[in-house]
Amino acid sequence: MTPDELSAALFALVAPIVARRRGDGEGPEFVEADVTLERPKNREHGDWATNVALKLAKPLGTNPRELAAEIAAAAAALQGVASAEVAGPGFINLRLEAAAAGQLAKTIVDAGTAWGRNTSQAGRTINLEFVSANPTGPLHIGHTRWAALGDSIARVLLASGAELAREYYINDAGAQMDKFGASVLAAAKGEPTPEGGYPGQYIAELAAQVLEEVPGLLELPSDEALATAREVAYARQLGEIKQSLADFNVHFDVYFSERTLHAVDPETGTSAIDDAVEDLRKLGHVFDADDAVWVRTTDFGDDKDRVIRRSNEVYTYFAADAAYYLSKSERGFEHKIYLLGADHHGYVHRLKALAGAAGDDPEKDIEVLIGQLVSVNGARLSKRAGNIIEMDDLIEWLGADALRYSLARYPADSPLALDPEQLRSRTNDNPVFYVQYAHARICSVTRNAQAAGVETSVFAPELLTHETESALLGALQEFPRVIAHAAELREPHRVARYLEEVAGLYHRWYDTCRVIPQGEEPVEDVHRTRLTLNLAVGQTIRNGLELLGVSAPEKM
């Protein structure tokens, strides 16, 4: 019996009790969501606890313990419930029959990769933008954290039924691109980096690649040479960024170029930015003052109104932000999530005000998540870039799995310092090793069981009576709800911490309960049933690691 099944059964029996006690009186509507279940901290109190009687007592004008006693008496008669007892001021502790609790193991195995998926985010269309580094250099340690977090947030949202696109905004317009091109061209000529340009060995490498692709670069007119160097280097650098992300098991559905916002439609003679400004004007939030065009963002909590076009008729960065935001709505995304770096706090009010000016609800239709800084003890600056710690170097040094797991294991808003010695160690002090080792052990047990003639032709869940089995099954029941909470709160670290709990419970079960008969003992139904439980734990850990973008090795 899953928590959802038990919750639905409780609702079905409580609803008539509420209706009878309410009679013709008025009161709040009683819905299935009012029946919540929690795992008791002390397993001796049962498998589940509910406070439904405490919730209903006041609106029904009754004593909570009296109401709890009536509900408990009815709940004790439910199929699969061994006992229901009242505790404290009106809590109800429920204990499942071994067969009902154990049935979950087969449910998990039958569900396979679908186990844990839920519909808590169904009906939501979400655009999740993260990383979005300028294509003027390699990805660094900060981008590494945003990549791990953003991709894991996307995975738990998708597993919870959301319709979602992972999006990377390419800042490929503006002065920084010209400086990038000038830096590459200077390197190709053997000249010093221009003032305000980009230094680093990677620029020299890009220059060599440009010269290889365009042998006559240095014979071109200066403007053409600059444009050529910029575009070829840009394509190469963007390709390198995409490869770094792929090596980190991060994939984007959309790479959105800022240039498309500036491009003029030959039919209308306007750009997406032009159209965005007019759309905001029609909504009543654009005004003209001091020969400039402004958006009245103070109407939506911003600290000041924002210039969207200067008096010299040049658009500001805010104009591109506005056009980009509106494009997301035009593409059918009702909800927008931005994951930004620690130096972007000023964007929060600006983007929320922009959402309000666009006719959206700033409190519901947009989220801006600010990730805090991350450091790795002993990490060296990149030899290629000189002033950053590169993602590629971190992956090579620590491994993609260790990085992804560790970066997703903490909330985005907590500063983080990683210990490389711990991440590289093959001990239980290393959380990713601890979880992956549990999965490898599960696979080893499965292989050895099959070699010993243990298979899953018989499943007798009533045999799963050991206390370690009860604890393990209780934890497995939580998986769909853990994913749903991680999706709702945008906190994939909940999945990581859950996997560590399951791994610990599995190791204790492994030390106590045998899947494989010892010596000359015959294969019995309890061994076959435990093999199914073993497989269920493996499926749960595998599915959880997939949500974090981490592999589940079969051998270690």
Sorted by sequence, the CB contacts under 8 Å of residue 545 that are 6+ apart come out as 405, 435, 436, 439, 499, 551, 552
pLDDT score for 339? 94
In angstroms, the CA 283 to CA 355 distance is 12
pLDDT score for 39? 83
User: For residue 22, what is the enclosing H or E element?
Assistant: helix 3-22
3-class SS string, 311-325: CCCCECHHHHHHHHH
Collapsed DSSP state (helix, strand, coil) of residue 493 = helix
Task: Give me the half-sphere count of Cα atoms (radius 13 Å) on the Cβ side of residue 167.
Answer: 22
pLDDT score for 45? 80
- Where does 336-466 have alpha helices with state H? 347-357, 391-398, 400-408, 420-424, 431-451
pLDDT score for 344? 78
pLDDT score for 31? 87
Sorted by sequence, the CB contacts under 8 Å of residue 242 that are 6+ apart come out as 255
Name the nearest CA neighbour of 237 among 384, 34, 344, 357. Answer: 384
In angstroms, the CA 86 to CA 70 distance is 10
In angstroms, the CA 556 to CA 551 distance is 12
Parallel/antiparallel/unpaired status of strands 286-289 and 254-257: unpaired
Q: Note the pTM of the prediction, 2 decimals.
A: 0.90
The total of other beta-carbon atoms located within 10 Å of residue 385's CB is 20
Give me Rg for the CA atoms of the chain: 29
In angstroms, the CA 325 to CA 328 distance is 5
Structure tokens at 13: 């029996």
Contact 93, 40 (CB under 8 A): yes
pLDDT score for 100? 84
Contact 321, 243 (CB under 8 A): no
Q: Which amino acid is at 485?
A: H
Name the nearest CA neighbour of 370 among 53, 149, 201, 216. Answer: 149
Contact 101, 348 (CB under 8 A): no
pLDDT score for 543? 98
Q: Long-range contacts of range 206-212, CB-CB < 8 Å, 24 or more positions apart?
A: 206/233, 206/236, 206/237, 207/233, 209/233, 209/236, 210/184, 210/236
In angstroms, the CA 505 to CA 273 distance is 56
Collapsed DSSP state (helix, strand, coil) of residue 402 = helix
Structure tokens at 472: 């393990």
Name the nearest CA neighbour of 294 among 279, 273, 310, 282. Answer: 310
Domains of the chain: 3-96 (3.30.1360.70), 102-120+425-547 (1.10.730.10), 125-172+252-374 (3.40.50.620), 175-247 (no CATH)
Contact 180, 172 (CB under 8 A): no
Collapsed DSSP state (helix, strand, coil) of residue 376 = strand
**Per-residue pLDDT tens digits of the chain, which is 556 residues long:** 778 889 899 999 999 898 888 876 666 688 888 898 888 877 778 888 999 999 998 888 899 999 999 999 999 999 989 999 999 999 999 988 888 889 999 999 999 999 999 999 999 999 999 999 999 999 999 999 999 999 999 999 999 999 999 999 999 998 999 999 999 999 999 999 999 999 999 999 999 999 999 999 999 999 999 999 999 999 999 999 999 999 999 999 999 999 999 999 999 999 999 999 999 999 999 999 999 999 999 999 888 899 999 999 899 999 999 999 999 999 999 999 999 987 777 788 889 999 999 999 999 999 999 888 888 888 877 667 777 899 999 999 999 999 999 999 999 888 888 898 999 999 999 999 999 999 999 999 999 999 999 999 999 999 999 999 999 999 999 999 999 999 999 999 999 999 999 999 999 999 999 999 998 899 999 999 999 999 999 999 999 999 999 999 999 9
pLDDT score for 27? 63
Q: For the stretch 432-470, what's the b/e string if a residue is b when 16 or more beta carbons lie within 10 angstroms of its beta carbon?
A: bbbbbbbbbbbbebbeebeeeebebeebebebbeeebbb
